[in-house]
A and B are shown apart, each in its own frame.
Chain A
Amino acid sequence: MFKILKYSFFDLTRSSWSYVYFFFYLLLGSVLLFLNNDLSTAIITLMNVIIMIVPLIGTIFGVMYYYNSREFTQLLLAQPVRRSSIFLGQYFGVAISLSLSLILGLGIPFAAYGLFKSSAIWDFSMLLVTGLFLTLIFSALAFNIALSHENKIKGFGYAILLWLFLAVIYDGIFLLSLVYFQDYPLDKFSLAASMFNPIDLSRILILLKLDISALLSYTGAVFKQFFGTPVGTLASLGMLFLWVILPLFRLKRVVGKKDF
């Protein structure tokens, strides 16, 4: 698997898109930190961007890489290499190169700002940790979708729809149901609902780190009670971890049965 990972990774380091993505974060991080006096506003803005953009980029890169490397894959399938190694290698190639763009792109301006010496380092690390998770999760989902659709256009379409659903529509339905059922105690429901969406989960983790849970809706208290404890944080990170592992299991299973 590591040989495949290496080739995919180097293939991507030669692609200009990786650099575009890196410079985007570099620019974003620099602008927000240096043109903004308030550190916590900067981090919140950054969070809002990360929570939308990281999944989107992970999705697009994942799908694009899968379809663009179909020839390479064909070639590899005839070699003495395990099938799952081929696809997991490619997946980690994509995920690691995206993660590097994110870490370096945001890390450099933060280091320049002197944040590593301040206490905001923890808020910043939580941003990066969730960013990494979202990258791993959404490229895994994208690989799954692409694998199940020979047709590139369809694959792209479904992947974007999934992103749209988890990033926007899910929250919409969630809020609507809160309003609609406001007479019922919905604490548990909303807790569960946010556990099942990696984007919501990431948002909550960051907001709690920033200690601005008051910004959340009236369910904030319950959220803080749960997510604010070490158990809650661990549970959420565990959930994010599951969101990475489960798609990879499916990937492995589907790959084992597919005809190429």
Chain B
Amino acid sequence: MVSIQNLHKQFGALKVLNGLELDIMEKGIIAVLGPNGSGKTTLIKSLLGMVVPDKGEISIAGSNIRKRWNYRQEIDYLPQIANFPGNLKVQELITMIKDLRGKPAREKELIEYFRLQPFLDKKLNKLSGGTQQKVNLVLCFMFDSQLVILDEPTSGLDPVALLQLRNLLQEEKEKGKTILITSHIMNFVEEVADRIVFLLEGKIYFDGTVSEIKSSTGQPDFEHAIAKLLSEDHV
């Protein structure tokens, strides 16, 4: 599905990605973890063509994405920061994005699922952060693509919404999708992820399942295992 070879990206003097290699062939939920500023968002934006890599190749669904744009038709993406045009109403935004994609969407079902009906006629800048994030999730999932990329989907969500998101992810996974996700909420990651990819110093530092992280660090607790992973060579 996704294949990344020797990916390099630096911003000014700051090397963010440094020869990163990653293959995602399987279905299921893959979590990208790493400290703040380790380049998770940069990696994701490179997949979407929003960041232009200095070096390296990325292929999605078998073809190289460089200088192409229509492959995005087949990706559902949730940006880390939900920056919306504030003067639009929720419904207007949904209609607009549907128009741009020019393909059928299942927004009704998702609006129902996140209980967003009362907000459809509200302006986006009048919504709370959590509600904005739900709108963001609707916009992302409504096209039902096989590849879903979520950058910090948990941010701003209350426990109820978090549970809703977890159930939604489970359902989508069962449909056979590949879901790439970053999150800071460790027990959320532990519960949903089939595979953990740990990013450090511009490379994949660890790649395996939750239980493999636990056993390789000797820590029975996931959060501690991650902390251990971080402190091993990098004190």
Contact = CB atoms under 8 A, between A and B. Distances in A.
Interface of A: 3, 7, 11, 14, 69-72, 74-83, 256-260
6 closest A-B pairs (Cβ-Cβ)? A71-B83, A80-B73, A80-B72, A72-B85, A259-B51, A260-B50
Given A74-B79, A75-B83, A81-B69, A257 B52 contact: yes
B48 A78 contact: yes
B1 interface: no
Contact of B69 (A11, A82, A260): A82
Interface residue tally of chain B, by bracket? Answer: 20 to 34
Interface string B66-92: 010111110001010101111100000
A195 B10 CA distance: 41
A3 B100 contact: yes
Interface in B84-104: 84-87, 96-97, 99-101
Given A71-B84, A75-B84, A258-B52, A7 B96 contact: yes
Interface of B: 11, 45, 48-52, 67, 69-73, 77, 79, 81, 83-87, 96-97, 99-101
A74 B50 CA distance: 9
Considering residues B70, B81, B96, which has the most beta carbons from chain A within 10 angstroms of its beta carbon? B96
A82 B67 CA distance: 9
Contact of A79 (B72, B81, B83): B72
B17 to A, nearest CB: 12
Given A71-B85, A259-B51, A78 B77 contact: yes
A43 B101 CA distance: 48
Contact of B101 (A72, A80, A83): A80
B158 to A, nearest CB: 24
Contacts of A80: 69-73, 100-101
Contacts of A77: 48-50
B79 A260 contact: no
B85 A259 contact: no
Considering residues B71, B84, B85, which has the most beta carbons from chain A within 10 angstroms of its beta carbon? B85
5 contacts: A11-B87, A74-B83, A78-B50, A78-B79, A79-B100
B66 to A, nearest CB: 11
Given A70-B83, A81-B69, A260-B45, A75 B99 contact: no
Contacts of A258: 52
Contacts of B72: 78-81
A89 to B, nearest CB: 11
A259 B96 CA distance: 24
Considering residues A14, A70, A75, A76, which has the most beta carbons from chain B within 10 angstroms of its beta carbon? A75
A69 B101 contact: no
A58 to B, nearest CB: 22
Contacts of A74: 79, 81, 83
Given A71-B84, A78-B50, A259-B50, 15 more contacts: A3-B99, A11-B87, A69-B85, A71-B83, A71-B86, A75-B79, A77-B49, A77-B50, A79-B100, A80-B71, A80-B100, A81-B72, A82-B69, A259-B11, A259-B51
